[in-house]
Amino acid sequence: MVAYQHPAGLNPLQRFRQAGAILRGTSRAANSGWYQSALELDLQLHLRVDGNRLDSFLYDARSKQWSAGPAIQEEFATDLTLVPAFAAEVIACAQKTGTSAIGVVLHIADEFATSELKPELDNPGALAELRTTVENDPKAVLDDSSVSATESSWRLIPYPAAGSEAIATTVCISRHWSGFLDELRKIGEEKNFPLVTRAISAPLTCLLALPDLKTTELTRLLIAVLPYPRFTLLAFFNEHGDLRLLRTLQHRGQRRPTNLRHAASTTAAALELSDPEVFLFTIGEQADPQLAADLQLVFPAASIHGIDWSGTPYKLSSTGLGCPEPMIATALSITPDSPLASAHTFTVLRGDGWAVQDFIPVAKEASEVYPTRGEMKLLRSARYARLAFASVGLLALAWTMLQMVDMIRKPEWAFDAKDGKSQQQRLAFLATERARIDHWDNLLEDRSKAWASMELVGGLFPDNSGFLVKSFSHIIRTDSAPGQAKVGFVREWKITGLAREEALERLAILNTRDGMSAIFNGVATVTGNTSFRSDLPNRSLVVNVRTLENSGFRQGPIDELARLDESTYPFSFDLSIQQRFESADPMAVTSAKAP
Amino acid sequence: MFYRQSIVLFGFVLPFVVCAAIVGGGVAFKAKAAASFQQKQALYKSSETNRIGALGIEAQVSKKRPHVERWISQIEKETANSITSHLKEIGDLLPAKEFQQTAFERPTGATGFASVSAQNSSQVKLAFRGTFRSMQKAFIELETRMPQLQLQDLKIDPSSSSTSTLNFQVTYTAWEK
């Protein structure tokens, strides 16, 4: 078995690792039995020691059945080497019944002593604080300064009755069985099987049966007499059923206390009790009849009830038990329906657990080695949280990887900036080349060609149409447009000549824009020279024909040979054509130099 | 309650911090990669646009490239020499009586097209005597062989010596490299 260290000596990381080791190495996270009270577990082993005999009973809370338990010996308290075999037997019994934990309840009935609190601590409001203090530092609250916390254990028992001289008393039990219980728990931890122990005072437990015994209305004071082999406990209650005093009479080797009559009478006198109702418990063996006689002498007017358990919920004969305490301890959750049960004393003794206080609990240092139930739950949650965080982390990584793979698979990822630069350079180079080509394409356009202009003459004046052309002048004038990318220009033709009668109609046609446009388009079609196209939006055509009488004209017959004879032409003409190309025209001249 | 703080610290806080670091790291890494990827995407897109644009231009340019090479080689030659040699060749093709070169001048200064373009150019003034059709043939031959010639002005007058021939005065602007 791993030896766990006290967490106070560990750093935070070591504490966490130890908690993780406990989570993995023990069933503390899954088995709630580790953190339950012995009296809450489904299977309980009730051991009872009263000085004369040792009893062992198994109680199955699920079926409410009692059976004989593994035999306990007095030597177990002193010879711890005997304990493992006993513990193994206990665990085997538990496993046989299918339970995952067993509570070992030790009913200590062989000793009971009371000690008074320091008088200055009689503060009812500090009862809870006193309860804790008496467990951890009994010297601080007890009137007796010679007490030894290592040898004995003290527990507080309140006196709820109004008018009590003290708010509480303390019950002392030795730690005789401490080693046995520690060993049992240790073996349980080694076997990873919860062996939960609890050492309770049998007389205090037995007192809880009183409301089941006194079922009638409370009219008188009550005295409960609990005779055990080594001592007799006297419990005094007021007329409301509240505890006023616990007094122990040690037998000192006798069968019964020798001072019972004296003690009972002096205590009754001190508490001003008269004609009480006395309940004489029968615990274990048959009741000593002398006890009842002695009490009757002290309280002649009192009614003394000898307890017959057969008439109560604790029928010992039906269970095989020889003592009532185990049955009473397992029935704490059942509140009897009697006036005494509703008394404040019994309410707190049962409800607040005063009657079943653990006199030999696990040492604080030992219990602190293990995480609490809440911490185990937290640790278990942390395990799931780590899984969740790890899953989220893995998902995030997977998501990132998938996104990366998705990106890497695209051609853009492998794209080299150098390739982009070379493409850009190639585009720039081609753009420059295109610009150069466009530049030369523009400059070398057929915008002004001599042969095409000569073809225009043929278009204007067809053969044998009655014209004699005397001069032809063609000139190009460019626009003045500094700073513009393209510059428009004007082509101008000036033609002079002579005309006969039959040519006048032709001259009239030439003098119209439509007529001239038709001729230009005809030239464009014949020559393939698009500069003569007049149907483009950025071109305009202006025509002017001036016809005059030929002063040298002589009337006479006209023959073929007279074609060049100017005197045979009655008219002279002067034709002026202007064709304008705007700067937006495709044939406008690029002003920049070649790139 | 010795363990609670350690459990909370190492069981919840630390795993959360590690998880947050992984998630945050992943997100940051992805964001950085995405930013780089977006940059690459933009470059790639731009490169693709350039590539497609270059292909388009290449398709246009490749058709004209042989012509341009021819033009450039033509332009690179000295204009006067080219005109002289071409006219000589043209003259050999035509009847001598119908095509006679009478003048060749190289005026200084830039007029007409040359005055509005920054492109290098020179001007050539020519004079011929010939028949209308032969001269038109000569011009079409010359202007086809030398597309850099842009007609600046043209005058045609009757010849005083012969009724069948005409006097031609022509001025060209010749683009040069």
Ranges of residues in chain A whose predicted pLDDT is under 50: none
Search chain B and give the residue with CA nearest A372: B1
Residues of A in contact with B101 (CB under 8 A): none
Q: Which of B15, B26, B151 is the closest to A385 by Cβ?
A: B15
Residues of B in contact with A450 (CB under 8 A): 136, 139, 143, 151, 154, 170
Residues of A in contact with B123 (CB under 8 A): none
Q: Which of A378, A454, A481 is the closest to B132 by Cβ?
A: A454
Give the model's pLDDT for residue B110. 83
pLDDT tens figures, B57-109: 999 889 888 888 888 888 899 999 999 999 999 999 999 989 999 999 999 88
Provide the percentage of residues in chain B whose pLDDT is more than 90: 64
Size of interface A-B (CB pairs under 8 A): 240
pLDDT tens figures, A468-506: 999 999 999 999 878 889 999 999 999 999 999 999 999
DSSP A229: S
pTM, two decimal places: 0.66
Q: Positive or negative CA dihedral for A393, A395, A400, A405? A: positive
Give the model's pLDDT for residue A1. 64
Specify the CATH architecture of the domain A217-311: 2-Layer Sandwich (3.30)
Task: Tell which of B154, B159, B167 to mutate to test the A interface (max A CBs under 10 Å).
Answer: B154
Task: Classify residue A146 by burial, with Cβ atoms within 10 Å: 0-12, 13-18, 19+.
Answer: exposed
Q: Which of A12, A480, A589 is the closest to B5 by Cβ?
A: A12
**Residue closest to A448 by CA, chosen among A478, A422, A472, A416:** A478
Taking an 8 Å cut-off on Cβ atoms, the answer to whether B117 and A591 are in contact is yes
Give the model's pLDDT for residue A573. 96
Q: Spell out the alpha helix ranges (H) of B14-149.
A: 14-76, 79-93, 113-116, 132-145
Search chain B and give the residue with CA nearest A453: B154
A520 and A579 Cβ atoms separated by less than 8 Å? yes
Residues of A in contact with B46 (CB under 8 A): 420, 424
Give the model's pLDDT for residue A272. 81
Q: Please indicate if any CB of chain B lies within 8 Å of the CB of A438.
A: no
B46-84 b/e (C-beta count within 10 Å ≥ 16 → b): ebeebbebbeebbeebeebeeebeebeebbeeebeebbe
pLDDT tens figures, A266-315: 888 888 877 889 999 988 766 678 888 888 888 887 888 888 888 788 87
**Residue closest to A595 by CA, chosen among A441, A421, A420, A424:** A441
Give the model's pLDDT for residue A286. 67
**Residue closest to A236 by CA, chosen among A259, A262, A265:** A265
Angle between helices A417-443 and B14-76 (to 10 degrees): 30
Q: How far is CA A191 from the centre of its chain?
A: 35
3-state helix, strand, coil in chain A (%, to 5): 40, 20, 35
Q: What distance in Å separates the CA atoms of residue B110 and residue B112, rounded to the nearest whole number?
A: 7
How close, in Å, is residue B160 to chain A by CA atoms? 12
Q: Positive or negative CA dihedral for B49, B51, B54, B55? A: negative
Residues of A in contact with B47 (CB under 8 A): 415, 419-420, 423-424
Task: Tell which of A5, A369, A384, A443 to mutate to test the B interface (max B CBs under 10 Å).
Answer: A443
| Residue carrying the six token digits 């009741």 | A287
Please give the angle made by the CA atoms of A591, A593 and A595, to the nearest 5 degrees. 130
Q: What distance in Å separates the CA atoms of residue A391 and residue B39, rounded to the nearest whole number?
A: 32
Taking an 8 Å cut-off on Cβ atoms, the answer to whether A392 and B136 are in contact is no
Give the model's pLDDT for residue A311. 78
Taking an 8 Å cut-off on Cβ atoms, the answer to whether A372 and B1 are in contact is yes
Give the model's pLDDT for residue A561. 62
Q: Please indicate if any CB of chain B lies within 8 Å of the CB of A365.
A: no
What are the boundaries of each domain within chain B?
A: 1-76, 79-175
Give the model's pLDDT for residue A308. 80
Beta bridge partners of A547: A573
What are the boundaries of each domain within chain A?
A: 217-311, 450-590
> Mean per-residue pLDDT for B14-41?
90
Specify the CATH architecture of the domain B79-175: 2-Layer Sandwich (3.30)
Give the model's pLDDT for residue B163. 79
Portion 69-108 of A in contact with B at CB < 8 A? none
Q: Please indicate if any CB of chain B lies within 8 Å of the CB of A301.
A: no
Give the model's pLDDT for residue A165. 79
**Residue closest to A585 by CA, chosen among A480, A487, A492, A508:** A487
Q: How far is CA A105 from the centre of its chain?
A: 41
pLDDT tens figures, B157-174: 998 887 789 999 999 999
A594 and A440 Cβ atoms separated by less than 8 Å? yes
Q: What distance in Å separates the CA atoms of residue A177 and residue A175, rounded to the nearest whole number?
A: 5
Q: What distance in Å separates the CA atoms of residue A30 and residue A545, rounded to the nearest whole number?
A: 121
**Residue closest to A201 by CA, chosen among A255, A150, A266, A157:** A157
pLDDT tens figures, A224-234: 999 999 999 99
Q: Which of B3, B11, B147 is the closest to A386 by Cβ?
A: B11
DSSP, collapsed to helix, strand or coil, labels residue A461 as: coil
